[in-house]
Structure 1
Amino acid sequence: MTIPTNSNLQIEMARQVVSLATAENWPVGSRVSDFALAKQLGVSRSPIRAALALLTERGLLEHEPGRGYLLARLPNEADEQDNLAPSEMEVLYRRIMSDRAAGSIADEVSEAELTERYGFSRGAVRKVLMRFATEGLARRLQGHGWGFAESLTSEEVVAESYQFRLIVECGALRQPSFRVDSQELANLRAAQETILAAAEGNVRRDHWFRVNAQFHETLASWSHNRFLVQVVRQQNNLRRMTEYADFDKLSGARIHNACKEHIAILDALGDGDVEFAEALLRRHIERASRELDDSL
C-alpha cells in the first residue's frame, strides 16, 4: 500500500533503512536504533524516527514501549520496490551520480548550476549534495560551490585503484589483530545467498552495491584498524560512482560469480584458514580487474 502523504525525506530514509536491513541481513527481533541509523546515514534523528514509524505501519517493524523499534520480519521485494517508490531526492541523486560517472558534470559546480540543469529546487540539490559529502564523494567549497571527489574515470586510475585494494584489503587479513565476528560472517553469507537466489539479471543496482560494499568493509573491519576501514570505504564510494553508470553492462552471471567467490572467502575464514582466504580475496580482486579491462 502506497501512502502518498509521506514526505520525500521520510520515504528516502525508509528506503535506505530497508536497504540496510536487507544488505546486512538483520535478524528478526533485533533492535533498530534511531540514533545508530541517524549516525550511519548522516541525518538527524527526526527523519529517521518518521521513517521507522512508516515502516512500522507497513509491518516491517514493531514498536514496543521501553524497547523501541524491533525488526518484525525480513524485507521482501515489495518493501524495496513497490511500496517505497523513489523519492524526488533519490531520483535527483541517481541522475547526478550517473552524470558525474559519465563525466558530464565538472569537478566543481554550483548549486545554481545543478538547480538549472535538473529542474529541482536549490534546497533539494543541497540535500543531495550533502548526501554525496557524507559518502565522501563531494565537499563544500566557499560560497555555494561544491567539489566532487576524483572519480575512477580513466583506465590508469582504475588500475591504480585495484592495485591499492590488493595492498589494503589483503593486508587487512594479515593484521595480528584480525578476528572474525561469527555473527557478522553469518549475516554476510546470508546476504550473498539472497543475491544468488535471485534470477540472473534480476539484481537491483542499489542492493548489489550495498551488499558488495558491506562485504569488503566488514572484512577490513575485522582487522580492528580504523584507518584500513576508512580507506576501504573510500574506495567503495569511488567505485560506486564509477560503476553506477556501468551497472547495466554488468551481467547477472558476473554478479553471481562474485557472490560465489565472496562465499568461498567467508567459508575459508569460518574454517580459520586466513591464509587461504587471503589468496581467494587476491584472486577475486585480480579477476574483477581483468574483467573490467576486458569491458573497456
Structure 2
Amino acid sequence: MMEKTIATRIVELIKNERLTEGARLPAQMLADRFRVSRSPVNEALALLHEKGIVSREKNRGFFVAKPVVESLSDVVDELGLAETDVITSVYFQIAEDRLKGALPDEFSEQLIRNRYGLTSAQLTAVLTRISQEGWAERKPGYGWQFSTMLTTPDSLLKSYRLRLALEPAALLEPGYRLDHKVLVHCREVEKHLLAGGIETDTADQLHDRGVRFHESLVEASGNGFFIDTIKRVNRVRRLLSYRSMKHRERYVEHAKQHLHLLELLEHEKNDEASEAMREHLLHTLDSLSRISEILEP
C-alpha cells in the first residue's frame, strides 16, 4: 500500500537526517520532497503515529516522537512495513528491464502484474512511483506508456548539459541566499558520504542526496523558473542515474567538490561558486562518458 511506502521513506528521513524528538514533520514539505500529494503523506504520518514513531499535536501537526537509531531494515520489519521492500525490488527490476529493451513502449497493468507477480496494492504502489518519477504515464482510456526520454546514455548526458547551463547561473541570481540551516545540513550529508555512506547507502539514498544538494542550491536563488526546471530534470533522469551508481568510486570526488561549493557560498563568493559548479558538472559529464557502456541497453 502506498502509505506504507511513504511511511518507510519518512522513517528513513528521520534516521538519515538524525532528527531528534520534537522535530516538526510538515506534511507539505514531505509531499514536496517525495513528489506526492499531501493525502498519502498524511495517511503515512497517521500510520507512524499509531506505531509511536511520530506524535501529533492538535492544530500543529506531526512531530518526531523518538529518534530512529536502529538499522532501517530492522525498524521497517518491526513496524510491519516490510512489504515496501517488494515494491522497491520490483521497481528496480522494471527499470532494468526497460533499459534492456525487455518491456514494450506501451503496456497494460495486467502485463506488469503478471510478469512481476504483484498483488493489486503492490501494482498500484509501483506504478504510482514510476509515474511520479516521470518515466511512465497512464494513457487516455486504457494502458500505460513509457516515456521516450532518458532511455539512452546520450539522453542522460543531455540532461547534464542542460544542468550545466542552468545551475551555475542560478548561483548568480540577484538576492541569492542559502539558508544557514540548509547549508549545515548539506555539509553533514557530504561528510556522512565520505565517512562510508558512499559504500553503504542504497541507490535510492545516493540519488536522493545528490538531488537534494543541487536542488537546495538552486532553490536559494528564489527564481521559480530555475527551481521548476531543475526539479523536472531530476525527476526524469533518475532511471539512468541508478545504473551509473554501479561505479561509486566517483562519488568521493563529488562529495569533496560539494563541500568546496558550500564553503564558497558560506563566504558569499558566488562568482567563484558558479565557476566551481560549472567545473563540478563538467567533471560529472566526463565521468559518465567514461562509463557509458553500463548505460547501454
Q: Work out whether the TM-score is over 0.5.
A: yes
Which of 271, 280, 284 lines up with 2:267 in the alignment? 271
The 5 Å alignment of 1:154-233 reads 154-198=152-196, 201-233=199-231
For 1:19 and 1:37, locate their aligned partners in 2 and report how far apart those are by CA, in whole Å.
12
Is the 2:133–2:236 contact (alpha carbons within 8 Å) kept by the matching residues of 1? no
Q: Does 1:262 align with 2:258?
A: yes
CA shift in 2, pair 1:231/1:268, >3 Å: same
Shift in Å at residue 263 of structure 1?
A: 1.2
**Matched residue type, 1:250:** H
1:94-139, Cα deviation, whole Å (9 max, x unpaired)? 3223322343323322212212221224553244222222222322
Deviation at 1:277?
A: 1.0
Within the candidate set 130, 135, 145, 1:132 is matched to 130
Structure 2: segments with no counterpart, 5+ residues: 77-81, 293-297
- Relative to structure 1, the CA distance from residue 174 to residue 103 in structure 2 (aligned partners, 3 Å threshold; closer, same or farther) is farther
Query: Is the counterpart of residue 283 in structure 1 residue 275 in structure 2?
Result: no
Q: In the alignment, does 2:242 pair up with 1:250?
A: no
Aligned counterpart, 2:101: 103
Residue in structure 2 matching 1:81, options 70, 73, 80: 73
CA separation of 1:225/1:26 partners in 2, compared to 1, >3 Å: closer, same or farther? farther
Q: TM-score if structure 2 supplies the norm length?
A: 0.83
Q: 1:101 to 1:193 in 2, by over 3 A?
A: farther
Distance 2:125 2:269 in 1: 45
| 1:179 Cα deviation after fit | 1.9
Cα distance change of structure 1 residues 132 and 123 upon mapping to structure 2, 3 Å threshold: same
Match of 1:51 among 25, 41, 44: 44
Cα RMSD over matched residues?
2.7
What is the number of residues matched between the two proteins? 285
Q: Compared with structure 1, are the counterparts of its residues 77 and 143 closer, same or farther at alpha carbon in structure 2 (3 Å cutoff)?
A: farther
- Residues 112 and 122, structure 1, Cα contact 8 Å, conserved in 2: no
Identity of aligned residues (%): 29
8 A contact 1:29–1:72 mirrored in 2: yes
Change in 2 beyond 3 A, CA 1:242/1:20: same
Partners of 1:103 and 1:131 lie apart in 2 by: 20
Whether the aligned pair in 2 keeps the contact of 1:109 and 1:147 (CA below 8 Å) is: yes
- Are the aligned partners of 1:23 and 1:211 in contact in 2 as well (CA < 8 Å)? no
Q: Give the SS at the match of 2:150.
A: coil
State TM-score, norm by structure 1: 0.84
Separation in 2 of the partners of 1:146 and 1:272?
A: 47
The Cα shift of 1:262 comes to: 0.9
Equivalent position to 1:143, from 141, 144, 155: 141
Distance of 2:217 and 2:15 partners within structure 1: 18
Q: Decide whether aligned partners of structure 1 residues 196 and 243 sit closer, same or farther in structure 2, where only a CA change above 3 A counts.
A: same
1:15: Cα distance to partner? 1.4
* Unaligned segments of structure 1, at least 5 residues: 1-7
CA offsets 1:201-229 (integer angstroms, 9 cap, x no match): 22221111111000111111111122211
